[in-house]
Amino acid sequence: MANNSILFLSAMLPSLLNQNIALLFLLIFKFHFQIAFNYNEKIPFGKGILRF
């Protein structure tokens, strides 16, 4: 059972998870940069905190 599930997951990973992870990272970076820019406008050293 474990080997079959691992093979199934490895077969499904490239098609499903890469698209979902790409969308998740786009959303995360979008909201992260919006929050970072909002903090940069309000807090003087927000750039040092939220640069990564």
pLDDT tens across 4-49, in order? 776 766 676 667 667 777 788 877 777 766 666 666 566 555 555 5
* 50 contact partners, CB below 8 Å, separation of at least 6: 32, 35, 36, 39, 40
* pTM of the predicted protein model: 0.34
Tokens standing for residue 20: 């979902």
| C-alpha dist (Å) from residue 26 to 8, 23, 47 | 26, 5, 20
